[in-house]
Amino acid sequence: MSFIKKYIEQQTINRRNLLLLSAYGLGGLAASASFRPHFARAAVQNPKIAWSYRDRTNPYWNSIVSGGEAFVESLGLPKSDLLNLINGGSSEKSLADIKALLSRYGSGVALAADPNDMPNCRPVVEAVAGAGAYVSTIWNKTDDLHPWDFGDNYVSHMTWSDVGPSEQTARILIEAMGGKGGLVHLGGIASNNPAIERLQGLKNALKSYPNVELLAEQAADWDTQKANQVMSGFLTRYGDAIKGVHCASDTMAYGVIEALRAEGIENMPVVSYDGNPQAVGLVAQGKILATVFTNPYWGGGVTASLAYYAATGVFKPSKEPKEHREFYGPTVLVTTKDASTFKAKYIDSNPKYDWKDFWGLSKGQIQYRS
């Protein structure tokens, strides 16, 4: 488990430096352009390609950005040409950095972005559309916000349907518990779509197991250190009543495992989500029972690709069907039975992707909760 300790330490050391680097060269002031969609505009020559995201010390986001870099290299450009806007989990910084980028480059921007939380997506999209630039988003947006309401400038939104896969991991966990006893859930940022859906998946599974009790659920904000603290608190409060742990991300599972190890607990059933390389290794060892892979490398590359090729006029988003504007990305359940095979296919080396095959791995149009 030494890599988990190193990972926790690395988060502490690197986070401040990454936040400082994110704004380098972009200027210190945010643009104040009013929202006015540009529904018809000439193609942009050589737009600046940028990714706005939370924190590259997180393995999931590192894979996202690596995919973005691979896309940039497919254009014959150095991967350093990808501009990194690192917001450290701050929606305010996310929006300020994007406005600063637009202030400098105007319509010549092809932006891929996770807006950090759902409410922040609208002001991000309005700023981009107001500048006549192009944006593709992932994960977080409100249900009433749609790309087709912004002509070509809001190119696409991709999320992942997490309820079903999270329910699968929960059932694996509960079966390992013998179908009875107490479990705890560590969630992501409360206003994040994936945090909401992954908790719902657990609750759906619990309906089939009347002898299992959800002792507690608490947000740990996708953070390893915070998850370590939350799990330590659960152990103090509930002790031996805890028979299993459901984690909404791999990074939080690392903190959980370290907290369990500190108490001398080696065989507690744990499941997680994201399919990060370290987590897949732990699944292969049986330290984590299951995780769910969302192919962040492909997601990072294709999101940047959509924004870029819309900006350069290769395709016109407003001419595409709605299932090409809002769509689900792929998910793969990884268990102890298939972790080694999965690792060889997706982890040991990244598959080669055609970045113009925008929807080849998509799983259909997003369906909204009523």
Bridge partner residues of 53 (DSSP): 86
In the sheet that 326-328 helps form, which strands lie side by side, from edge to edge?
83-86, 48-53, 109-113, 134-138, 154-159, 326-328
Return the number of other C-beta atoms located less than 10 Å from residue 299's C-beta: 25
**Amino acid of residue 223:** D
Per-residue pLDDT 10s for the chain (370 aa) are 555 655 555 555 454 444 444 444 443 333 333 343 444 356 888 999 999 999 999 889 999 999 999 999 999 999 999 999 999 999 999 999 999 999 999 999 999 999 999 999 999 999 999 999 999 999 999 999 999 999 999 999 999 999 999 999 999 999 999 999 999 999 999 988 899 999 999 999 999 999 999 999 999 999 999 999 999 999 999 999 999 999 999 999 999 999 999 999 999 999 999 999 999 999 999 999 999 999 999 999 999 999 999 999 999 999 999 999 999 999 999 999 999 999 999 999 999 999 999 999 999 999 987 6
- Residue 83 three-state SS: strand
Sketch out the chain's domains with CATH numbers. Answer: 48-160+295-329 (3.40.50.2300), 163-293 (3.40.50.2300)
For the chain, how many residues are written? 370
What is the spatial distance between Cα 235 and Cα 243, in angstroms, rounded to a whole number?
Answer: 11
pLDDT score of 39: 41
pLDDT for 8 equals: 58
For the entire predicted model, the pTM comes to 0.84
pLDDT of res. 33: 37
Token look-up 């962040």 returns 296
Give the tokens for residue 100.
């600063």
Residue 191: predicted pLDDT: 86
β-strands 134-138, 154-159 pairing: parallel
Sign of torsion over alpha carbons 298, 138, 307, 314: positive
What per-residue confidence (pLDDT) applies to 17?
A: 46
